[in-house]
Amino acid sequence: MALRVLTPASKKASIYSDFHKDLTLSPVSNDLALIKDEDAVKESIKNLILTDPGERPMQPRLGGGIRNLLFENMTPGVLKLIEDRIQTTIKTYEPRARLIDVTVTTTFDDNQVGVRIVFYVVNNQQPIELDVILERIR
C-alpha cells in the first residue's frame, strides 16, 4: 500500500481568487474568506455589469451603464442595447473570461430583465453560465 504525501505542488492550485464583496470572514482561519476560480470570475462579471461609469473613483469609464436603460420602455432595440453593453463591458474589463453568448430577456409583469451569460474561464475548457436579474430600484 502506497502512502501519498500531500504537498503544495500536488494540490490543485487556484488560478484566480478574490475577496467576498461583503468581506466575509472564514470560520476556520478567522481571516478574510476568498472566492476562487470560476466563482471569482462570475462575481467580477456581475459587479462589472451592475457598476455605472463614474461610480468607481479613479476609474471613470469602468462599468456597464445598464441601470439607466432599465427605465426605458423595454423594446427589442433596448434589449439589444443592453446585450451589446454587457458584451462590450466583459470583453473590455474582464480578461479572465472568454465570452460565448449573452441573452437578455424581459418579464413585463415583474419589471425585471434577465441576463444569461455563457463564457469560458481562461485555462478551463468547461463553459460556465451566469444568470443575473436586473431590476429597477428607486
Render pLDDT for 18-44 as a digit per residue (tens, 0 to 9): 767 777 777 788 777 777 778 888 998
* 10 part of a folded domain: no
| Secondary structure (3-state) at 36 | strand
Q: What is the pTM of this model?
A: 0.78
pLDDT value, residue 10 = 46
Question: Using CA of residue 17, residue 21, residue 27, residue 31, what is the dihedral sign?
Answer: positive
Write the CB contacts of 105 (distance below 8 Å, at least 6 apart in sequence): 79, 113, 114, 116
86-128 pLDDT tens trace? 999 999 999 989 999 999 998 877 778 999 999 998 878 889 9
Instruction: Give CA–CA dist 118/130, Å, rounded.
Output: 6
DSSP state of 15: S
50-79 pLDDT tens trace? 888 888 889 888 888 888 888 888 889 999
Tell me how many domains the chain contains.
1
- Say how many CA atoms lie within 13 Å of 29 toward its Cβ: 5
* 1 part of a folded domain: no
* 4 part of a folded domain: no
* 3 part of a folded domain: no
DSSP state of 72: S
Residue 21, domain CATH: 3.10.450.40
Q: Rounded to an integer, what is the distance from CA 126 to the centroid of its chain?
A: 16
Instruction: Give CA–CA dist 83/92, Å, rounded.
Output: 14
